[in-house]
Amino acid sequence: MKVVLHICCGVCAAGAAAVLLGEGHGVTGYFYNPNIYPREEYDRRLDAARLVAQKLGFEMAEGPYDTAGWLLATAGQENEPEGGLRCRACYRVRLEESYNYMLDSGAGAFTSTLTISPHKSAVEINRIGEEIGGENYLSRDFKKKDGFKKAMQTAKNWGLYRQNYCGCIYSMQETHR
């Protein structure tokens, strides 16, 4: 089946795409991350994702960098802790856009690399994805079977850029306190 894989960064893409390809799916990567701050960080993550797509042999598209829309969607949640309501709103924004891309591309399903992170709830991400896409959402927990560990090893082997915060200005500030 042709699957749109929402990609947050190269490291996560390396692990999740390898699993999907190993299952026999055709993968189209979709880099949509209006949350990533600053723009230089966004560009580093996009470049790493492009490298993974090249190495694993799948197509990748880039969504719009709509930071204003993301800020509006998360307004009032600036002081939420990492993993709280702001993150859920962020997941929803990115998964909704990925679902729309899936519809436009003619793919049969969509999913996200977000579930590979040990810092994110795959249950919560999958719940949101299913609310948005129903049977078109491919529920996965890519961190299972050492998924995150394998992705980290691949990143090291390929010299991929590896970030030290989730992506938004608020997670960056929290990390650097």
The rounded mean pLDDT for the chain is 96
pLDDT > 80? residue 164: yes
Report how far residue 144's alpha carbon sits from residue 171's, in angstroms, rounded to the nearest whole number: 25
pLDDT > 90? residue 174: no
pLDDT > 90? residue 165: no
At residue 22, the pLDDT reads 97
**Token pair 């997670």 is at which residue?**
171
Condensed to tens digits (0 to 9), the pLDDT of residues 50-87 reads 999 999 999 999 999 999 999 999 999 999 988 999 99
Report how far residue 160's alpha carbon sits from residue 44's, in angstroms, rounded to the nearest whole number: 10
Condensed to tens digits (0 to 9), the pLDDT of residues 112-144 reads 999 999 999 999 999 999 999 999 999 999 999
60-94 in b/e form (b: 16+ CB < 10 A) is beebebbbeebeebbeeeeeeeeeeebbbbbbbbb
Average pLDDT of the residues in 39-55? 98
Place 8 in a pLDDT band, splitting at 50, 70 and 90: very high
Q: What is the pTM of this model?
A: 0.96
Instruction: List the domain range (segments joined by +) for residue 87.
Output: 2-175
DSSP state of 49: H
pLDDT > 90? residue 45: yes
Q: What is the DSSP string of 132-157?
A: HHGGGB----TTTTTHHHHHHHHHHH
Place 176 in a pLDDT band, splitting at 50, 70 and 90: confident
Name the pairing type of β-strands 109-112 and 26-31: unpaired
More confident residue, 79 or 177: 79
Average pLDDT of the residues in 30-35? 98
At residue 153, the pLDDT reads 96
Instruction: Report how many domains make up the chain.
Output: 1
Q: With the C-alpha atoms ordered 5, 9, 12, 18, is the resulting torsion angle positive or negative? A: positive
Condensed to tens digits (0 to 9), the pLDDT of residues 10-22 reads 999 999 999 999 9
- Other Cβ atoms less than 10 A from the Cβ of 144: the count is 12
Please report, for the domain that includes residue 92, its CATH number. 3.40.50.620
Report how far residue 113's alpha carbon sits from residue 17's, in angstroms, rounded to the nearest whole number: 8
Q: How far is CA 107 from the centre of its chain?
A: 17
